[in-house]
């Protein structure tokens, strides 16, 4: 039997959710996905929640008895010191985070995160043994000119050295076409599959062995109504979910859909 990467359903809460919302979300999730809160049960899909920084300790406590991973949405490029407002990878490790998103298009476009900066953040995460979830994906203009695959693989190539420093089973790649994020307009499943297959081939050609262990996620307006069409694609190993991850019942449905 051949085994591929372990599937992952990841929630990116962005700057949403408050203390009470976190508690309510987890209480509801306990009812909806009791097996994720049973440590004796091996879930078939990994589940991850990336809350805003201030709620990471609270979520860590709420998830203490759960097989649900905890992650952050960004990290400092520095290892600590006089960097007002930054949160270091060592702090995330101290809070027992397992994963951290880097290179999300909102960070690239709103906060001008460059490939150089993302590379530094990846190195900080490796140093602290956190798993980077690297987001890549093209704009609508790039897709319309037929350059989507070249552009997206170019984003990986720009970070090849740093990605190669991650252990093969300690990296996640999320394909998120910009025009599908938070817009309600999701990519055609066949187009998402084509891109994720191209990413898998890139891994095989550039970081041999990683193609077998690195989960490749699709992200962009994933919801219970469209998720199954992605989850049945050969090269899509799960989803990075924004809007639909804010409601426990929608998020639980996504996790259940992957298990089917």
Binding site for ligand PEP (CB under 6 A): 12, 176, 181-182, 219-222, 240-244
Q: Hey, what are 40's tokens?
A: 């004796």
Residue 129 is among the residues annotated as catalytic for this protein? no
Q: Return d(Cα 37, Cα 29) in angstroms, integer.
A: 9
DSSP one-letter string for 70-95: EEES---SSSSSS-TT---HHHHHHT
Choice between 5 and 243, CB closer to ligand PEP? 243
Q: Return d(Cα 217, Cα 148) in angstroms, integer.
A: 17
Of 69, 12, 47, which Cα lies nearest the Cα of 243? 12
Choice between 214 and 241, CB closer to ligand PEP? 241
Q: Hey, what are 249's tokens?
A: 């019942």
Choice between 206 and 253, CB closer to ligand PEP? 253
Q: How far is the CB of 77 from ligand PEP (least distance, A)?
A: 21
Q: How far is the CB of 39 from ligand PEP (least distance, A)?
A: 29
Q: Return d(Cα 161, Cα 163) in angstroms, integer.
A: 6
Total Cβ atoms within 10 A of residue 152 = 24
Q: How far is the CB of 218 from ligand PEP (least distance, A)?
A: 9
Q: How far is the CB of 180 from ligand PEP (least distance, A)?
A: 6
Choice between 159 and 180, CB closer to ligand PEP? 180
Quote the DSSP letter at residue 34. G
Dihedral angle sign, alpha carbons of residues 222, 225, 227, 230: negative
Q: Which residue is nearest to ligand PEP (CB)?
A: 242
Choice between 166 and 181, CB closer to ligand PEP? 181
Residue 176 is among the residues annotated as catalytic for this protein? yes
DSSP one-letter string for 100-166: EEES-HHHHHHS---HHHHHHHHHHHHHTTPEEEEEE---HHHHHTT-HHHHHHHHHHTTHHHHHHS
Contact 168, 126 (CB under 8 A): no
Q: How far is the CB of 169 from ligand PEP (least distance, A)?
A: 22
In the set 96, 104, 188, 211, the catalytic residue is: 104
In the set 138, 162, 176, 211, the catalytic residue is: 176
Residues annotated as catalytic (active site), given as ranges: 104, 176
């Amino acid at each position: 039997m051949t085994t591929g990467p372990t599937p992952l359903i990841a929630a990116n809460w962005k700057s949403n959710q408050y203390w009470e919302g976190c508690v309510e979300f987890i209480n509801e999730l306990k009812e909806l996905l009791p097996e994720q809160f049973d440590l004796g049960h091996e879930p078939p899909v990994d589940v991850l929640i990336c809350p805003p920084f201030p709620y990471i300790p609270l979520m860590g406590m709420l998830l203490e008895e759960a097989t649900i991973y905890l992650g952050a949405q960004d990290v400092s490029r520095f290892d600590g010191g006089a960097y007002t407002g930054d949160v270091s990878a060592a702090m995330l490790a101290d809070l027992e985070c397992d994963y951290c998103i880097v290179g999300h298009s909102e960070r690239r476009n709103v906060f001008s995160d460059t490939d150089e900066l993302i590379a530094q953040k990846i190195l900080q995460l490796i140093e602290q043994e956190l798993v980077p979830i690297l987001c890549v994906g093209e704009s609508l203009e790039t897709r319309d000119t037929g350059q989507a695959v070249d552009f997206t693989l170019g984003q990986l190539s720009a970070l090849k050295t740093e990605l190669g420093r991650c252990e093969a089973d300690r990296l996640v790649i999320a394909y998120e076409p910009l025009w599908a994020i938070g817009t309600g307009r999701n990519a055609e499943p066949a187009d998402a599959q084509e891109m994720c297959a191209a990413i898998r081939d890139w891994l095989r050609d550039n970081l041999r062995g990683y193609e077998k262990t690195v989960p490749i996620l699709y992200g962009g307006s994933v919801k219970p109504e469209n998720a199954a069409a992605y989850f049945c694609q050969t090269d899509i190993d799960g989803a990075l979910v924004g809007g639909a991850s804010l409601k426990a019942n929608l998020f639980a449905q996504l996790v259940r859909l992957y298990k089917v």
